[in-house]
Amino acid sequence: MRKTTLSLAAASVLALSVQCAFAQDKPKPPPAWHQGKPAAMADSKLAPVPGKMTETPESDIPISKMKLPKGFKAEIWASGLVGARAMTMNDDQTKMWVGTRGIGRVYEVTNEGGKRTVKVVAEKLTQPTSVYANGALYVFAIDKVLRYDNAAKGVSGQPVDMTKAFDLPPQQHHNWKYVRVGADKKLYVPFGAPCNICEPEKEYAQIRRYNLDGSGKEVIAVGVRNTQGFDWHPKTGELWFTDHGRDWLGDKGPEDELNRLSKPGQNFGYPYCHANKVVDPDVAKGKKDACKDVTLPVTTMGPHTAVMGIHFYTGSMFPKEYQGVAFIARKGSWNRSKKIGYDVVAVKAGPDGKGAKVTPFATGFMDPKDNSFWGRPAYLAQLKDGSLLVSDEQLGAIYRISYEAPAKKK
């Protein structure tokens, strides 16, 4: 019996050793952003730009490099928000909450007496964002939804876990959130494609809306690869949203998009049709009607520019020509040999989306001579005085852009 026991133990050790050796020899799978990379680009050195996951002192933020149209100026409104992305505020704008992607935090900014103080109110979450609605703060992560009640004067106490009510699909790639509340008092939530290019399962590549308690789930848009921002047109009330084009088809595109949802249920093309009728060479082979019944964009936004937040300007501080203009942050490219984006642009179009014209607004974040950059504009918000806030994910800061008419010559 003793010999038999020893033999079995030895065999088990040997089997475990073989498994370990096999595991060590087995190559690691490529990162998710490699998906869709053609053999012709196998040696490409292009890779996502890593975020700066440490706090940047205000003295190290080169705000003077930002370039704006005549009469506009930029200043640092808040800092110390590592990885700052989408912003949401309470009704009197004394509290702001800022989500992140890489660092897993939600920040609370207190805005009082002309000064801002920052603290972390939630952390160790998977790519969280937040939205303030009906006196509560809703925090959406990939795998979790939390509600902090009575948040108007600041978040405190334990949240209510609402995850089960929202039926969240689990895959992470392009599934990070940007969440808003519409005039209908519903939560609008995107669920991006779980890949660069693929035929996704039905839970992905869409925008949904819910009642505030998670009931009433409705898919309002499909064929949406990865929207990172939306807003409602101030005249029509229609939803306009940005969308990222796919990677690994070269420097020229497909371009990112600005889209308009005129009725629920529209199809915006992904994965078969991109931008202005660019048929996908991988998943749309043999599909002659790949772009049939697809809603085309209001305008394209440049190849791989990483269009993020959009905000329709409704204030009175800026000159009249900016009324109703859509300001859009373009975080900047990585899947391109020469970088593009790293700016905020102004899009002027008719309420029906016709005649769209894209012009630079806030630039200077990137030096095109050597592909270097210092900031990555991500989201926008408007203060009651009509000034515009821009979050910078790279340096963890929020900038305030204001306007003062130049003095008239006597």
Cβ 339 vs Cβ 366: under 8 Å: yes
Q: What is the pLDDT of residue 406?
A: 82
Q: Under the phi-then-psi rule, with left for phi > 0, alpha for psi from -120 to 50, and beta for the rest, what region is 365?
A: alpha
Domain presence at residue 176: yes
Statement: residue 187 has pLDDT above 70: yes
Q: 3-class SS at 189?
A: strand
Q: What is the pLDDT of residue 288?
A: 84
Count of structural domains, the chain: 1
Instruction: Write down the mean pLDDT value for the chain.
Output: 93
The separation between the first and the last C-alpha atoms of the chain, rounded to the nearest angstrom, is 110
For residues 310 and 390, give the distance between their C-alpha atoms in angstroms, rounded to a whole number.
11
For residues 275 and 383, give the distance between their C-alpha atoms in angstroms, rounded to a whole number.
33
Statement: residue 220 has pLDDT above 90: yes
Tokens of residue 370, six digits: 């050597």
Tokens of residue 102, six digits: 């890489």
Query: What are the percentages of helix, strand and coil residues in the chain, rounded to 5?
Result: 10, 35, 55
Q: What is the pLDDT of residue 408?
A: 76
Domain presence at residue 24: no
Domain presence at residue 26: no
The amino acid that residue 146 corresponds to is L
Q: What is the pLDDT of residue 4?
A: 46
Average pLDDT over residues 54-66: 97
Domain presence at residue 174: yes
Average pLDDT over residues 387-401: 98
3 confidence band (pLDDT: 50, 70, 90): very low
Q: 3-class SS at 64?
A: helix
239 confidence band (pLDDT: 50, 70, 90): very high
Q: What is the pLDDT of residue 55?
A: 96
Domain presence at residue 27: no
pLDDT in tens, 133-178: 999 999 999 999 999 999 999 999 999 999 999 999 999 899 889 9
pLDDT in tens, 275-305: 999 999 999 988 889 999 999 999 999 999 9
- Percentage of residues in the chain with pLDDT exceeding 90? 87
- For the chain, counts of helices (H) and of strands (E): 2, 29
Give the CB-side neighbour count of residue 129, counting CA atoms within 13 A.
Answer: 22
Average pLDDT over residues 181-210: 97
The amino acid that residue 402 corresponds to is S
The amino acid that residue 257 corresponds to is E
Statement: residue 307 has pLDDT above 90: yes
Cβ 67 vs Cβ 362: under 8 Å: yes
Q: What is the pLDDT of residue 18?
A: 46
Q: 3-class SS at 54?
A: coil
For residue 225, give its domain range: 62-403
Question: 398: which residues sit within 8 A by CB, 6+ positions away?
Answer: 76, 77, 78, 79, 81, 84, 87, 98, 109, 389, 390, 391, 392
**228-251 per-residue burial string, b: 16 or more CB within 10 A, e: under 16:** bbbbbbeeeeebbbbbbbbbbbee
CATH of the domain at 197: 2.120.10.30
Q: What is the pLDDT of residue 19?
A: 55
CA dihedral (276, 68, 55, 155) positive or negative: negative
Average pLDDT over residues 367-387: 96
Domain presence at residue 325: yes
Average pLDDT over residues 121-126: 97
Tokens of residue 314, six digits: 């409704």
Q: What is the pLDDT of residue 5?
A: 45
| Closest C-alpha to 362, from 330, 317, 386 | 330
Cβ 190 vs Cβ 224: under 8 Å: yes
Average pLDDT over residues 374-398: 98
233 confidence band (pLDDT: 50, 70, 90): very high
Cβ 186 vs Cβ 208: under 8 Å: no
Q: pTM of the entire structure?
A: 0.92
- DSSP string covering 307-329: EEEEEE---SSS-GGGTT-EEEE
Domain presence at residue 219: yes
Average pLDDT over residues 28-32: 79
Statement: residue 6 has pLDDT above 70: no
Domain presence at residue 321: yes
Count, residues in the chain: 410
Q: DSSP assignment, residue 67? A: B
Statement: residue 30 has pLDDT above 90: no
